[in-house]
Chain A
Amino acid sequence: MIEYTIKRIFAAIPVLFGILLLTFLLLNVIPGDPARAVAGPRADEQTLARIRSEMELDKPLMTRFFSYSGKILKGDFGNSIVTGRPIMTSFKEKFPVTLKLAVMAALISAVLGVAMGIISAVNKGGFIDKLSTVMTVTGISVPIFLAAIVISYVFTVKIPIFASADTTDFSGLLPFILPAATLGMRSAAFLARIVRSGMIEVLNNDYIRTAKAKGLRKSRILFSHALTNALIPIITVIALDFSSYLNGSVIVETIFTLPGIGSFAMNAISQRDYPVIQATILCGAFIFIFINLLTDLIYAWLNPQIRDEMSGKVSK
């Protein structure tokens, strides 16, 4: 297991390097003068000169890339152009908000998705199954911004049960319920479909029939026999969705005015704050790699067969 873990970590290094290079190029290949793009059309020569030296535009591309990578490795993402604050400081403030949102969304989607999937699988072909299919197809198809607008409208204007008195306090759970539900809705729908088909497949197996013949209780069969076998696809969906929450949080945090990484990125985009945009993209990619690594390790831990197969592949 340790050998496998080390192999997986080493396999991620070239990808991390590529991500760093691409994010760097994205800002540095802007057609025209990057300093002009950063400063805006009305900036005077003095400002441009200052930005040029700040961005080290007078140095060759390779030198700049290495100094940029070196800083990132030390945890320095540079400063925001608009506020001048170190981006890392803002990240430290905003990350917990997004993490809380993502964890709650994952919890909501896991509970809802697994429950709906099991209920559908058990009642396969029945009314509840059909209703749940309609709900899941809709859940996957409705754009997240539309869901966010409608949910925030209904629950803060029409039925204001979640409208909190203090709109600046984000320490509790209340301000996160609606956005997390919005963010988790899509993955809940997706998960419900995966759980349903996984469970139906497992429920057809001989050992389930044996368990039934032994007279085991239905709930025991469902949870200890069937669900454990459908676990791997479930973990995949939850993990993949968890890293996609950064995408969703750009929209959801903006609409529900949560001060997390997503709204930080969106603000930066509207103000053309390139270093911040660069840093948030980089941060998202790193999170994705990290979660993928974690998922692979969980797989291996759950199923030694996969572990052997994968270490074979990696060492090839």
Chain B
Amino acid sequence: MTKFAEFLRNMTMAGKFAFLGIVIVILLGILAPAIAPHSPHDQDITRKFKKVDGYPLGCDELGRCVLSRLLYGARLSLTIALFARLLAILVGVAVGLTAGYFGGAIDWTLMRLADIFLAFPSLLLAIAISMVMDSSVQTVIFAIAASGWAEIAKITRASAMELKTKEYVTVAKTFGAGDFRIIMTHILPNAMPVITVVFTMGIASAVLTEASLSYLGMGVPPELPTWGGMVNAGKDYLIAYPAAVFYPGLAIAFLVIVFNLFGDELRDAMDPARRVNL
């Protein structure tokens, strides 16, 4: 934890801004039920695109409170992106460690599997998965993770291959430690910094994929408030009421920007040599 505090102190201005932005969005998402002025589902067609008192950002095409939907949307978008990333990390790290540590035929097979998933157009693959499965939050998480794990597997594999040649691994082997024990106590902890960076840097693209899926109507059920879904609903009224696209669009861009900046910061901190140039 002290290491993390030190990292936060040494961040650049952009990094501090990004960290603050992430904390704010997470807080807004968690506190949504407490601070949202209305229910995100409360519709009244007479309020359509009107600025009524008590509705600071106005109402959408069904007369629902835009601010409340944005707040609840933060909750859903973040949850989906984080869980999709976690799932991708779990699978990707397990595959990467196994492939990198054991090498040989196992490595070859697992990496060809990763190649196959990397080759698919990620958005089309996600769309196809959400079509085949029921429309739900879990499906979207699964669909986003399906295209994300392969890249993580490749990066973890490279780390594992490098780490297994270290002296402490050889020492552990001569003391009779089993493969599983070596992977868990010597390889995985030392690969953690790289994994953390990959995890964080991928959140931004997970947010974008979720938004794109919702925008295409292939994401979570339409009544659930997501930012991509709000843009999708608002785009038909762009000329009459641009705010319906503007606010959720701005929210997505902001969330992606802060995660991108924070990911960069984390990567630079792990690899100080890069900092000079970036």
B-contacting residues of A (Cβ < 8 Å)?
Answer: 14-15, 18-19, 22, 26, 29-31, 137-138, 140-146, 149-150, 153, 157, 193, 196-197, 200-201, 243-244, 246-247, 250-251, 265-266, 269-270, 272, 277, 280-281, 284-285, 288-289, 292
A87 CB, min distance to chain B CBs, angstroms: 15
Closest to A199 in B: B277
In the complex, chain B residues whose CB is within 8 Å of the CB of A19:
116, 119-120
A230–B260 Cα distance when bound, in Å, is 23
- Which of B116, B231, B235, B245 is most buried by chain A, counting CB atoms within 10 A of its CB? B116
In the complex, chain B residues whose CB is within 8 Å of the CB of A29:
132
What 1/0 mask marks residues of chain B from 115 to 145 whose CB sits below 8 Å from any chain A CB?
Answer: 1101111111101110111000000000000
B103 CB, min distance to chain A CBs, angstroms: 10
Closest 3 CB pairs of A and B: A284-B121, A141-B256, A18-B116
In the complex, chain A residues whose CB is within 8 Å of the CB of B228:
143, 145
In the complex, chain A residues whose CB is within 8 Å of the CB of B211:
143, 145
A293–B204 Cα distance when bound, in Å, is 28
Give the interface segment out of B31-39, B56-64, B68-76, B212-220: B212-220
A204–B259 Cα distance when bound, in Å, is 30
Q: Is the Cβ of B124 less than 8 Å from the Cβ of A247?
A: yes
In the complex, chain A residues whose CB is within 8 Å of the CB of B121:
243-244, 246-247, 281, 284-285, 288
Q: Is the Cβ of B257 less than 8 Å from the Cβ of A251?
A: no
A181–B276 Cα distance when bound, in Å, is 31
B136 CB, min distance to chain A CBs, angstroms: 13
Residues of B191-246 contacting chain A, CB below 8 A: 204, 208, 211-212, 215-218, 228, 231, 235, 238-239, 242, 245
- Taking the complex as formed, is B261 at the interface, i.e. its CB lies under 8 A from any CB of chain A? yes
Residues of B100-116 contacting chain A, CB below 8 A: 112-113, 115-116
A269–B135 Cα distance when bound, in Å, is 14
In the complex, chain A residues whose CB is within 8 Å of the CB of B218:
269
What 1/0 mask marks residues of chain B from 240 to 258 whose CB sits below 8 Å from any chain A CB?
Answer: 0010010001001100110
Query: A26-B128, A138-B253, A149-B235 known; 14 other A-B pairs, CB under 8 Å?
Result: A19-B120, A141-B204, A141-B253, A141-B257, A141-B260, A143-B215, A146-B252, A197-B277, A250-B127, A251-B212, A269-B218, A281-B121, A281-B128, A289-B119
A36 CB, min distance to chain B CBs, angstroms: 13
Q: Is the Cβ of B253 less than 8 Å from the Cβ of A269?
A: no
- Taking the complex as formed, is B1 at the interface, i.e. its CB lies under 8 A from any CB of chain A? no
Give the A-B contact count at a CB cut-off of 8 A.
123
A14–B261 Cα distance when bound, in Å, is 38
Closest to A280 in B: B124
A162–B225 Cα distance when bound, in Å, is 34
B273 CB, min distance to chain A CBs, angstroms: 10
Given known A-B contacts A26-B132, A281-B125, A251 and B216 have beta carbons under 8 A apart: yes
The contact of B231 among A137, A145, A266, by CB within 8 Å, is A145
A151 CB, min distance to chain B CBs, angstroms: 12
- Taking the complex as formed, is B171 at the interface, i.e. its CB lies under 8 A from any CB of chain A? no
Closest to A153 in B: B238
A29–B129 Cα distance when bound, in Å, is 11
Given known A-B contacts A149-B235, A247-B121, A251-B215, A137 and B257 have beta carbons under 8 A apart: yes
- Taking the complex as formed, is B278 at the interface, i.e. its CB lies under 8 A from any CB of chain A? yes
Q: Is the Cβ of A247 less than 8 Å from the Cβ of B123?
A: yes
The contact of B277 among A137, A144, A201, by CB within 8 Å, is A201
B11 CB, min distance to chain A CBs, angstroms: 15
What 1/0 mask marks residues of chain B from 260 to 278 whose CB sits below 8 Å from any chain A CB?
Answer: 1100000000000010111
In the complex, chain B residues whose CB is within 8 Å of the CB of A14:
112
- Which of B204, B216, B217, B231 is most buried by chain A, counting CB atoms within 10 A of its CB? B216
A-B contact pairs, 18 of them (CB 8 A): A15-B116, A18-B112, A18-B115, A138-B253, A140-B260, A142-B256, A143-B211, A146-B245, A149-B231, A150-B249, A153-B238, A247-B122, A250-B124, A251-B216, A269-B127, A277-B124, A285-B119, A285-B120
In the complex, chain B residues whose CB is within 8 Å of the CB of A270:
217
The contact of B120 among A138, A197, A251, A284, by CB within 8 Å, is A284
Closest to A145 in B: B215
A46 CB, min distance to chain B CBs, angstroms: 25
Given known A-B contacts A149-B231, A269-B216, A18 and B120 have beta carbons under 8 A apart: no
A263–B122 Cα distance when bound, in Å, is 16
Q: Is the Cβ of A22 less than 8 Å from the Cβ of B123?
A: no
Q: Is the Cβ of A143 less than 8 Å from the Cβ of B253?
A: yes
A103 CB, min distance to chain B CBs, angstroms: 18
- Which of B112, B121, B228 is most buried by chain A, counting CB atoms within 10 A of its CB? B121
A265–B125 Cα distance when bound, in Å, is 12
A237 CB, min distance to chain B CBs, angstroms: 15
In the complex, chain A residues whose CB is within 8 Å of the CB of B212:
143-145, 251
A244–B131 Cα distance when bound, in Å, is 21
Q: Is the Cβ of A143 less than 8 Å from the Cβ of B124?
A: no
Closest to B104 in A: A316
A137–B265 Cα distance when bound, in Å, is 13
In the complex, chain B residues whose CB is within 8 Å of the CB of A250:
123-124, 127, 216
A145–B127 Cα distance when bound, in Å, is 15
Q: Is the Cβ of B277 less than 8 Å from the Cβ of A157?
A: no
A163 CB, min distance to chain B CBs, angstroms: 14
In the complex, chain B residues whose CB is within 8 Å of the CB of A196:
277
B135 CB, min distance to chain A CBs, angstroms: 13
In the complex, chain A residues whose CB is within 8 Å of the CB of B231:
143, 145-146, 149
